[in-house]
Structure 1
């Protein structure tokens, strides 16, 4: 049962990412179990406080926290990140003043080819932490998510 749920969660994360990438003209990502393990290891390290702190690892990384009472799905988490597209200005390659759009640009980053995600239940019983890792990572200063790798 648990293995089946994990497979469904994996497919939902991957499909949600690839739907967003297709809408932006980017190629599909593949699921990478090594990235998923890295995401899981980092999420487990944060489960005692569930602070949305980046790992500082070698990959691109998106982090999300949600309350236990919220009806969570991987698709909904990715959709929240993709909603940041409303704040991304492609002509200036920047986010609107005081707005976030880096989760979105990481998802659609052209050079990125793989993703792996994990979710852990916070020790405080108040919510869950989701971490997605991307390889190669994106969001480099002066580069657009639409640039093709050189």
Structure 2
């Protein structure tokens, strides 16, 4: 169960979301979406980290530059990491269009894994994923920062990376 690590080696522009959103809007919406889910299980609110956001953006840019946003975790120590990939809209004539996601949609997609998680046994349902959910509600995590990249002009896909500190998803430990 779980995801972990994040890093990047390229310069780090600010996170990008749908064209009308500002970086501050992204931060506020991302934190609010996380905290809505965290409140449901009684864990402390999380705060935005520009440092984590820069690291996440650098890794989103790295994913874009390598294998068209292949979903590969960075593996960096000391940070939790959730990845999200979205396809573009596909039309009957074979063309695609961007399908931008808001921070709330991304966080809610991870949170939907709650249905796969059993707190009593601290486990995911057989064949299901729940580590994105457990990371976003991990009680000891206090900061989040996210980045986003459009992957390909051909298929209009995109990737989101969120980094968490301190990380969660320690084997044998419950998230809250």
Of structures 1 and 2, the larger Rg is shown by 2
Show structure 1 runs of 4+ deviating over 2 A. Answer: 68-71, 123-126
Structure 1 residue 9: Cα displacement:
1.4
Which structure's residues are more often helix, by fraction?
A: 1
Q: Does 1:89 align with 2:118?
A: yes
In the alignment, the residues of structure 2 paired with residue 104 and residue 4 of structure 1 have an alpha-carbon distance, to the nearest angstrom, of 25
Structure 1 residue 6: Cα displacement:
1.6
Q: Does 1:38 align with 2:55?
A: yes
Instruction: State which of 82, 85, 92 in structure 2 corresponds to 1:62.
Output: 82
In the alignment, the residues of structure 1 paired with residue 127 and residue 34 of structure 2 have an alpha-carbon distance, to the nearest angstrom, of 25
Q: Is the Cα contact below 8 Å between 2:57 and 2:146 reproduced in 1?
A: yes
Q: Which runs of 5+ in 2 are unaligned?
A: 1-18, 90-98
RMSD: 1.5
Instruction: State which of 153, 165, 168 in structure 2 corresponds to 1:135.
Output: 165
TM-score of the superposition, structure 2-length normalised?
Answer: 0.78
In the alignment, the residues of structure 2 paired with residue 19 and residue 120 of structure 1 have an alpha-carbon distance, to the nearest angstrom, of 25
TM-score of the superposition, structure 1-length normalised?
Answer: 0.91
Q: Does 1:28 align with 2:76?
A: no
Tell me how many residue pairs correspond in the alignment: 145
